[in-house]
Amino acid sequence: MAGKCSQETCFPNETGCNVEGHEYVSDCKFYNSKENKENKESQEEEQDILSLPWTGNTFGLSDLNFLTAGSNPIIIGVTGVASAGKTTFLSTLYCLLRNGKNIGEYKFAGSLTLIGWENLAWYLSWKDDNAIQYPPHTSRNAGRVPGLLHLSLRNRDGIRKHLIFTDAPGEWFDSWIYNKNDINAKGARWIHQNSDAFFLFADSEMLSGSKRGIARNQIKLVGDRLKENLKDKPFGLIWSKSDETISADIKNQILTYIQNSPIENYKEFETSVREGEKGIFHQNILNSIEWILDTIQNQKNAGLKVGIQKEDDLFLSKR
């Protein structure tokens, strides 16, 4: 409950009447407009104002209702330990789309979290005073559910896809590695349980630096957790900051480890905020999303097998 509505999932001041769906909040039976009688002016204003059911900022769980009421979004769990480049990856993705890039045959078709995306991209945009910087550390006080970023895509045939990306602090995964039930790992568990696809971030900069041993170990452990109950969900390994070179040894150890038990849908992508030769690192960001879309698209249940009882039955034998 927030403000003057008695319903838990309603935030009338921000997103209007969520539960009953009234155009004007003051028409709702759950809305308590009496409290504020002394302030007549604001009351009049309330009656005159139509609020929108999304704030433009990063989604929380109750914001998802507006989207999921009409579509079945693909939730992409963006995982990896702190400063692995998860948020920078998402920012770069948005900047690419803003510059008109496509994801395979899919083009941009809207977003309910545009302000959230713009907030991320703001860091990677040049300001008036010539400032530009990497997105800062995603703070861990963000709560139990990660910030969710929405993206709607559409291909030439008019088929729409709604994607939700999780933007979570790396510390959640740090806690999750060592204790699945850690109180600080609640958000990581949410991502693991609810995502339809995963990206695991391996930070090339850390893997080539003095802490490469620890970094290698952490990536392996997050990988282990993700693989639990993975089934056929796509699992993409993202080599972030790929403009830094990692020793072949380290890279191979990680690869061998991740694949020590079979993963049905697995692929690697080398990405970076720097475009790389012929823009390959940027292109790989787009390709990774395309791969997830394609993989999920192609996942269909096996055809139904109908046993033919009467072989001379024309209707059953014609297939």
Select the span of 43-51, 194-202, 218-226, 305-313 touching another protein (CB under 8 A). 43-51
Q: Report, in Å, the least distance between residue 100 CB and another protein.
A: 3
Backbone angles phi, psi at 12, to 5 degrees: -60, -35
Query: What DSSP assignment string belongs to 2-25?
Result: -TTB-STT--HHHH---SS--SSG
Q: Which of 32, 68, 72, 125 binds another protein (CB under 8 A)?
A: 125
Establish if 108 lies at the interface with another protein (CB under 8 A). yes
* 193-225 CB burial, b ≥16 within 10 A, e <16: ebbbbbbbbbbbbbbbeeebeebbebbbbbbeb
The bridge status of strand 147-154 relative to strand 235-240 is unpaired
Query: b/e string for 29-51 if b means 16 or more Cβ within 10 A?
Result: ebbebeeeeeeeeeeeebeeeeb
Determine which residue in the list 36, 127, 211, 313 makes contact with another protein, applying CB under 8 A.
Answer: 127
* The pair of three-digit structure tokens given for residue 206, joined into one six-digit string: 């850390």
Closest CA to 17 of 31, 38, 37: 31
| Segment interacting with another protein (CB under 8 A) among 101-109, 166-174, 246-254, 299-307 | 101-109
Q: In what order do the strands lie in the sheet with 160-167?
A: 107-108, 147-154, 160-167, 74-79, 197-203, 235-240, 266-270
- Show contacts with another protein in window 179-208 (CB under 8 A): none
Please report where in the chains the tokens 């989207």 appear, as a residue.
67
- Binding of another protein by 111 (CB under 8 A): yes
The residue among 174, 284, 283 whose CA lies nearest residue 218 is 174
158 binds another protein (CB under 8 A): yes
Q: Which is nearer to another protein, 226 or 286 (CB)?
A: 286
Nearest to 250 by CA among 198, 204, 300: 204
Q: How far is the CB of 42 from another protein (least distance, A)?
A: 13
Nearer to another protein, 41 or 312 (CB): 41
Site string for another protein, 56-75 (x = CB under 8 A): x-------------xx----
Contact with another protein (CB under 8 A) among 3, 39, 132, 232: 132
In the range 256-295, which residues lie near another protein by CB under 8 A? 273-275, 282
Side-chain half-sphere CA neighbours of 27 within 13 A = 13
Q: Which is nearer to another protein, 91 or 295 (CB)?
A: 91
Between 78 and 97, how does the x/- string for binding to another protein read (CB under 8 A)?
Answer: --------------x--xxx
Span near another protein by CB under 8 A; candidates 3-11, 49-57, 229-237, 288-296: 49-57
Among 2, 61, 82, 109, binds another protein (CB under 8 A): 109
Element (H, E) at 193: helix 186-194
Q: How far is the CB of 75 from another protein (least distance, A)?
A: 18
Residue 256's identity, in one-letter code, is T
Nearest distance from residue 76's CB to another protein, in Å? 20
Among 18, 58, 87, 119, binds another protein (CB under 8 A): 119
Residues lying near another protein in the complex (CB under 8 A) are found at: 23, 48-53, 55-56, 70-71, 92, 95-101, 107-112, 114-115, 117-119, 121-122, 124-129, 131-134, 152, 154, 158, 160, 273-275, 282
